[in-house]
Chains A and B, each alone.
Chain A
Amino acid sequence: MADIQIDELDLGTSRSLWATAWLRLRKNKAAMVSLGVLIIYVLIGIFGPMMTPYGHDQTFRDFTREPASLERYPRVDEIVPAAERVVTRSRLQAEEIVLDGDTITITATSRREMDERVTRYIDRSDIFSNTRILEMSDDNLRVTMQADVNRYLFIFGTDTNGRDQLARLAIAIRISLLVGAAATVVALAIGVLYGAIAGFIGGMTDNIMMRIVDILYSLPFIFFVILLVVFFGNNVFLMFIAIGAIEWLDMARIVRGQTLSLRRREFVSAAEAMGVRPISIVKRHIIPNTLGPVIVYTTLMVPKVILLESFLSFLGLGVQNPLTSLGLMISEGSRDIQGTPYLLIYPALALTILLFALNFLGDGLRDALDPKDR
């Protein structure tokens, strides 16, 4: 059974190759689930930040470090103390505070004369809005106000600045996917072109080009990345380039190997005999035919890049706030595991699921495209 498939692969046109691969992939349950998960992530990355109830940089000063909860904040028994705090912060003295469903009635006194602007103090809080004066004493030293109570849902909790972790998670997924994709594209572009050229031209050029790759392999690249980021600032763009610049080496080797074997194939010789320019041959015949292993390798590279980014974030060299990435959220969360575990758990879970999906999909694709090379 397996042998027949290999034959098909060897002989077949690209359409049947993709069709067969797709058929095989569909049989792989883990890979299909992973593909579904991945599509969900991409959708979250694109649309998530627009759909979360609060912005990723919106801060709620009344709700810092609130644990994840399906119940709305503030809890019912927290509303009156919150109102007391607001009154005190406005330099007023609370006389009576009555909570009735979603409205609160506050009676307060002041040593200075007040006017109708006093309601703004109450509105200022995230919790209360639409404050109106019910009664003002004649000497303007005593006021009764009524306000609506706003309650918020933070299903993943809030961080120290009072930012909704759900919104942060959505933007983090977007950034992490972007970093992963962008660095991969850089590595792909350099690696595929470099490898294809080296393999196609062959001979001395190939020797020299691969020797350079060998030398670059022995450079402690991660250290150069750290140096670059330390010296030239935390620039996301620079990070793509730096990470891409490390990862293209493997890609170049793989593509070169593929190209070397393709080089001896009939259709390449035929094209050459017909006088097609080498650059066109590389573009039309070589690169499309190396796509299989390249795609496999790419799915495995994305998780590597995302992890690398999180490593840089841990060292304080990654993405900068108010933007965030999964790695940054995890490294922030890991600083106080005991006090605020929910700041670690959800982003860690999100990253783990994403990486699981990418890994299983990569495995599945490898099995589907190239059953011999496991």
Chain B
Amino acid sequence: MLRYIFRRLLGAIPTLFLIVTTAFFLIRIAPGGPFDAERALEPSVLANLNAYFHLDKPLYQQYFLYLWNLLQGDMGPSFFRRDFSVQELLAAGLPASITLGTLALLTAIVFGSILGCIAALRQNSWIDYTVVATATFGITVPNFVVAPLLALVFGVWLNLLPAGGWNGGAPANLVMPVIALALPQVAVIARMIRGAMIEALRSDHVRTARAYGLPTRMIVVTHSLRAAALPAVSYLGPAAAGLLTGSIVIEQIFGLPGIGREFVNAALSRDYTLVMGTVIVIAVFVLIFNLIVDILYAALDPRVRYE
């Protein structure tokens, strides 16, 4: 197992290199630069700035310079937010993103599983239909509609929760963003668990267990849920990436200091180093998540073995 993890980590290096290289050149062929804004700069001032950020050097030199610095763990200064280095900005944004993402994922798994189980055990009853309909609703309503509605209802009208802001990650400030972020995932997981569970309930070993007179709840827990968890786990990798994307919108609407918002701002202001930094961090996250998913898979399914 350890060897497998090691091999996977080793395999991630060329992937990362590919991502860094693609991102680097992709940003550079984009029209406009970090110093093009509504206020045009004096040519002399622009020359000073370009020299300061080494933008006056040939592109390949900038690329190797960037790689060299990156290898030493230096992502460079931010072009746009000049009081910070890229690492500092990422370090400031990551706690919010990770907190949000993790809580949303946990919420989605817990509520998704519960709803999915209930629906499966009461298949074709009104409970089942309600769950399926609600779940579908969760997938179909974009979160940029759900989020402002939540903020309006609970923040402004009822004044129960803060309408926005981070406030050091206070629980009250987290409730609405987490719900808005988790909602579509709850829906997906509930549907998935329901489907897998119905099948597991019909399968031979559950029938056998029932025939032996084991209580229904035991059967559900020991057999069905385990089988049902497999597709849900394999969904987690893409789901984690989905949460990162979803959080761009949520961060913007609730005004939270995460890296999704940072990324969009950086891309729009051509903050080359900051774009690179966010892309790298997100890629690392996706790689790690995929690895975790594969390991979980092996743990849950005895047929899968890693050598």
Residues of B within 8 A of A334 (CB): 144-145, 148
Bound Cα distance A303, B187 (Å): 14
Residue contact B241 to A356, C-beta cutoff 8 Å: no
Residue contact B140 to A359, C-beta cutoff 8 Å: yes
Residue contact B30 to A355, C-beta cutoff 8 Å: no
Residues of B within 8 A of A356 (CB): 136-137, 140
Question: Which A-chain residue is minimally distant from B129 (CB atoms)?
Answer: A30
Bits for B248-289, please: 1 = Cβ < 8 Å to A, else 0. 110000000000000110011000000100110011001100
Bound Cα distance A184, B163 (Å): 38
Residues of B within 8 A of A330 (CB): 142, 144-145
Residues of B within 8 A of A217 (CB): 237, 286, 290
Interface membership of B71, Cβ < 8 A: no
Interface membership of A43, Cβ < 8 A: no
Interface membership of A50, Cβ < 8 A: no
Chain B min CB distance to A248 (Å):
14
Bound Cα distance A232, B148 (Å): 30
Flag the segment in A149-157, A187-195, A306-314 that touches B. Answer: A306-314
Residue contact A307 to B279, C-beta cutoff 8 Å: no
Which residues between 24 and 43 of chain B lie within 8 Å of chain A, taking CB atoms? 26-27, 29-31
Known A220-B241, A223-B263, A334-B148: A314·B142 in contact at CB below 8 Å: yes
Residue contact A230 to B196, C-beta cutoff 8 Å: no
Residue contact A230 to B267, C-beta cutoff 8 Å: yes
Residue contact A360 to B145, C-beta cutoff 8 Å: no
Residues of B within 8 A of A360 (CB): 136
Known A219-B19, A220-B244, A227-B275: A352·B26 in contact at CB below 8 Å: no
Partner of A359, one of B15, B139, B237: B139
Residue contact A222 to B245, C-beta cutoff 8 Å: yes
Which residues between 262 and 314 of chain A lie within 8 Å of chain B, taking CB atoms? 303, 307, 310-311, 314
Residue contact B290 to A218, C-beta cutoff 8 Å: yes
Residue contact B282 to A223, C-beta cutoff 8 Å: yes
Q: At the interface, is chain A mostly helix, strand, loop or mixed?
A: helix
Chain B min CB distance to A30 (Å):
9
Bits for A338-374, please: 1 = Cβ < 8 Å to B, else 0. 1000001000100110011001100000000000101
Chain B min CB distance to A301 (Å):
13
Chain A min CB distance to B281 (Å):
9
Chain A min CB distance to B184 (Å):
9
Bound Cα distance A326, B22 (Å): 32
Residue contact A352 to B137, C-beta cutoff 8 Å: yes
Interface size class of A (residues with CB under 8 A): 35 or more
Residues of B within 8 A of A134 (CB): none
Residue contact A310 to B152, C-beta cutoff 8 Å: no
Residues of A within 8 A of B264 (CB): 226, 315
Residue contact B31 to A231, C-beta cutoff 8 Å: yes
Bound Cα distance A231, B33 (Å): 11
Bits for B187-213, please: 1 = Cβ < 8 Å to A, else 0. 000000001101100000000000000
Bound Cα distance A267, B287 (Å): 40
Residues of A within 8 A of B144 (CB): 311, 314, 330-331, 334
Chain B min CB distance to A213 (Å):
12
Bits for A204-245, please: 1 = Cβ < 8 Å to B, else 0. 000000000001011110111011101110000000000000
Bound Cα distance A303, B141 (Å): 11
Partner of A219, one of B142, B195, B278, B283: B283
Chain A min CB distance to B63 (Å):
17
Residue contact B139 to A303, C-beta cutoff 8 Å: yes
Chain B min CB distance to A209 (Å):
16
Known A215-B18, A220-B286, A337-B152: A227·B27 in contact at CB below 8 Å: yes
Residues of A within 8 A of B244 (CB): 220, 222
Bound Cα distance A226, B260 (Å): 12
Bits for B285-299, please: 1 = Cβ < 8 Å to A, else 0. 011001000000000
Q: A220-B282, A352-B141 are in contact. List 5 more A-B contacts (CB 8 A).
A: A217-B286, A226-B264, A230-B30, A315-B248, A334-B148
Sorted from nearest, which 7 A-B pairs have the closest CB atoms? A231-B30, A355-B140, A374-B195, A220-B282, A222-B245, A314-B144, A352-B140
Q: List 24 A-B contacts (CB under 8 A).
A: A217-B290, A218-B12, A218-B283, A219-B15, A219-B286, A220-B241, A220-B286, A222-B241, A223-B279, A224-B22, A224-B23, A226-B263, A230-B30, A231-B27, A303-B139, A303-B140, A307-B140, A315-B264, A351-B142, A352-B140, A356-B136, A356-B140, A359-B140, A374-B198
